[in-house]
Structure 1
Amino acid sequence: MKNPWEGIPLTDYENHMKLDSVMQLQTMNEMMKGQFDAYSISSVMILGIAGGNGLEHIQRDKFKKVYGIDVNASYLKEAVLRYPELEGLLECRCINLTEETNQLPKADLVIANLLIEYIGYERFQKVINHVSPKYVSCIIQLNLEGSWVSDSPYLHTFDGLEQVHQQIEEHALEKAMLEIEYRSIKTLERILPNGKKLVQIDFER
């Protein structure tokens, strides 16, 4: 079965995410700077990298390797085009995390922002076990009111995601990570418009 993310144009996704009524692209960009800077590491893997939002915060003198993983090959091509200054450092790989976990390389830090919602706890555990990072930093969306997709002109672009989306809960994620010996070490929250908030949870093994 084709992953519904493969059929969503990047422009529609990003234009929706950066609307003043949504503000997820901008908020995640700010949060990602903190994710990149938080730990003394030399390699990072970004799961669901899309068009590379946040990559401008990568410091070449800190990282030896940056892996960008996504199921949509056109997203990855755009990410590479947008950040030519990361040539030789950024390596993008088109991988379906629900089927191709064994193709993932190793990394010191895994960043998974608004990603676990589309693969679930168990698959995420398998991904982390395979990559074997020291740190994991996740951002999940909690819906304080209303639908999980904010109303916008691009709303119906995301209709196909209903078949793969599941609501991720903070405590359930912490429990799932503890099962594979990762303990929660930091939590941050950012309130968004439309009754939503982003919650960042960092884990260490």
Structure 2
Amino acid sequence: MKNPWEEISLDDYENHMKLGSVMQLQSLNKMMKGQFDAYPVSSVMILGIAGGNGLEHVQKEKFEKVYGIDVNAAYLRETVSRYPELNGVLECLCRDLTDEEAELPEADMIIANLLIEYIGYECFRKTVQKVNPEYVSCIIQINMENHWVSDSPYLHVFDGLEQVHHLMEEAALNKAMAEIHYHAIRSLECMLPNGKKLVRIDFRKDDGKQNL
């Protein structure tokens, strides 16, 4: 079965995300700067990179490699064309993370923003184990009301996502990550319109020394 994200155009996705009633594109951009700057890493993997929102915050003197992962090849082509200044640093790979056979390189850090919602905790854990990063920084959407897609002219573009969407809970994500020995070290919130908020949770791999 084809992944529903392969059917959604980047224009429709980004136009919805940047509406004044949604404000997710803008909010994620600001939060990503903090993610890139937070830890002493030289390689980062961005899961669900879409059109590369936030890549302008990448410091070439800090990062030797930035991997952009997405299931939609058209998104990745657009990302590469938008950020020619990252040539030699940015490497985009088309991967369906729900495919257990999907191969991924290792990286010092994973950034996964609004991604776990569409693959689930278990698939995300397996992805983290493949990449084996020291740090994982996630942004999840918490719906304080019942709807998970904000009303907009693009609403029905996302109808196919219902078959793969998972509701997120901060405690459940912390528990899932603890089971593969990653512990939460930071949590930040950003309120959005329409009864939603973005929650950034950062994890660090447990090296077994914390309690010594």
User: Which band: TM-score by shorter chain?
Assistant: over 0.9
| Cross-structure match for 2:93 | 93
| Cross-structure match for 1:173 | 173
Question: Structure 2 counterpart of 1:86, which letter?
Answer: L
| Cross-structure match for 1:197 | 197
**Is this contact kept in 1: 2:189–2:197, CA < 8 A?**
yes
In 2: Cα distance, 1:125 partner to 1:16 partner: 29
In 1: Cα distance, 2:162 partner to 2:102 partner: 26
Any idea what SS the aligned residue of 2:171 has? helix
| Cross-structure match for 1:12 | 12
In 1: Cα distance, 2:144 partner to 2:10 partner: 27
| Cross-structure match for 2:117 | 117
> Any stretches of 5+ residues in structure 1 without a counterpart?
none
In 2: Cα distance, 1:165 partner to 1:143 partner: 13
Post-superposition offset of 1:28: 0.2
Matched, 1:60 2:93: no
In 2: Cα distance, 1:65 partner to 1:82 partner: 17
| Cross-structure match for 2:148 | 148
Change in CA separation of 1:92 and 1:100 when aligned onto 2, cut-off 3 Å = farther
| Cross-structure match for 1:72 | 72
Any idea what SS the aligned residue of 2:5 has? helix
Matched, 1:129 2:129: yes
Post-superposition offset of 1:137: 0.2
| Cross-structure match for 2:39 | 39
**Alpha-carbon deviations, 1:119-168, whole Å to 9, x = none?**
00111110001100000000000011141000000000000000000101
Change in CA separation of 1:125 and 1:101 when aligned onto 2, cut-off 3 Å = farther
Any idea what SS the aligned residue of 2:138 has? strand
Question: Structure 2 counterpart of 1:92, which letter?
Answer: C
Any idea what SS the aligned residue of 2:62 has? coil
Seq. identity, %: 72
Coordinate RMSD, CA, aligned: 0.7
In 2: Cα distance, 1:182 partner to 1:100 partner: 21
> Any stretches of 5+ residues in structure 2 without a counterpart?
206-212
| Cross-structure match for 2:81 | 81
**Is this contact kept in 1: 2:96–2:102, CA < 8 A?**
no
Task: Give the count of matched residue pairs.
Answer: 205
**Which is further off, 17-26 or 96-105?**
96-105
In 2: Cα distance, 1:145 partner to 1:124 partner: 25
Change in CA separation of 1:131 and 1:193 when aligned onto 2, cut-off 3 Å = same
**Is this contact kept in 2: 1:42–1:63, CA < 8 A?**
yes
Runs of 4+ in 1 over 4 A off after TM superposition: none
Any idea what SS the aligned residue of 1:165 has? coil
In 1: Cα distance, 2:4 partner to 2:148 partner: 16
